Amino acid sequence: MGCLLAFLIAGGLPGQNPAANPALDIPRKAFVDAVEKARQDLQNQITRKIEAARQKGDRQTVKRLKEDQEALARHPAAKLSTPSPAHQAALEKAAKNLQGDYGKIIRQDTKEGNDDRAEWAEKDLKKLLASIRPPETDNTLPPDPELADPTKPWSSLLHAISMRHLTRSGGTPTAPGTTLAADLESDGHFQIQQIAPGLVRILHRKTGKLLTPSVVQAQPGTSVVLKAPMKTEGHQAWQLVQADRGMVRLIHQRTGRPLSVTENSPVVGDLAKPGNESLWKIAPVK
């Protein structure tokens, strides 16, 4: 059943604990079953999306969705690349039902003078509710990387259409991947460094690596990753082109292709179609 069942076994059923009211067994099991059903429903939904992406040969989407499945297997409220309002609503409903059922039992124990049982139920309720809260993200910033320019600010790259932030996700230690995320966290901090008039390189704060197409001969749809400085400087250089309403386009110097987005994955786009999907807003972060 997953992590909640393991938690249930490790903590012991209320009916097995002399300090607990056995009546808690029923709402506790109902909560665990509801959460696991919500998780499985979302896993099945993601599986269908993976199969659809496979049919298109969309490798980046398959990789991203598999990462979502792995995260969901570890935690029912894991942060995914594409949030599911239905899944969140199911978790909230399970929590609301649990609070209502536990609340009735706690009140009855209090009326009957069973304070030890009431206290045990309060602690158990707190643990169960905590088990479906999103896991905390480590936003601790390391010292700025060697390539950083202390005179320049760190910025976010906000995609104009999706209104999501470019951020690190997945990949490998030598070439961390990128994705878009609704919330701006420290994995979405970049420094725009001018290396020639109108030409910049884009440094990722946490890894100290540069925004780079994953292969040198980048074609439309080639993923964008983070890599250490390369001898071929033009492969990590981007032309900064001003657009309307404070937006910019970032054109890869070597291929002339714009930084764009396909299925939530940053890619180099089609040179012949520099549409709104290649518009970005650069904004300083604190």
Domains of the chain: 3-130 (no CATH), 155-284 (2.80.10.50)
Q: What is the mean pLDDT of the chain?
A: 86
C-alpha closest to that of 236 among 199, 271, 261, 211: 211
Average pLDDT over residues 195-208: 93
Identify the pLDDT of residue 9: 40
Bigger pLDDT: 138 vs 198:
198
Q: Rounded to an integer, what distance in angstroms lies between the CA atom of residue 200 and that of residue 153?
A: 14
Provide φ and ψ at 167, rounded to 5°: -150, 165
CB-based contact 102:125 (threshold 8 Å)? yes
Q: Is the pLDDT of residue 227 over 80?
A: yes
Identify the pLDDT of residue 18: 60
CB-based contact 141:186 (threshold 8 Å)? yes
Identify the pLDDT of residue 1: 46
* Confidence band of 32 (pLDDT split at 50, 70, 90): very high
Identify the pLDDT of residue 138: 59
CB-based contact 282:248 (threshold 8 Å)? yes
Q: Is the pLDDT of residue 158 over 90?
A: yes
| Neighbouring-strand partners of residue 176 | 171
Identify the pLDDT of residue 109: 92
C-alpha closest to that of 219 among 257, 253, 276: 257
Residue type, 148: A
Q: Which two tokens stand for residue 278?
A: 């290649």
C-alpha closest to that of 8 among 58, 27, 142: 27
* Confidence band of 17 (pLDDT split at 50, 70, 90): low
Average pLDDT over residues 183-200: 91
Average pLDDT over residues 119-129: 92
Average pLDDT over residues 86-95: 93
- Using CA atoms, how far residue 67 sits from 74, 147, 161, 179, in Å, is 11, 30, 24, 11
C-alpha closest to that of 159 among 265, 16, 7, 11: 265
Bigger pLDDT: 215 vs 205:
205
Identify the pLDDT of residue 139: 60
Bigger pLDDT: 141 vs 232:
232
* Confidence band of 3 (pLDDT split at 50, 70, 90): low
Q: Is the pLDDT of residue 6 over 70?
A: no
Bigger pLDDT: 58 vs 92:
92
Q: Is the pLDDT of residue 285 over 60?
A: yes
H or E stretch covering 180: strand 176-181
Taking CA 179 as the corner, what is the angle to CA 164 and CA 170, rounded to the nearest 5 degrees? 145
Counts of helices then strands in the chain (DSSP H, E): 5, 12
In the numeric block, the tokens 């909230």 are attached to: 92
| Neighbouring-strand partners of residue 241 | 249
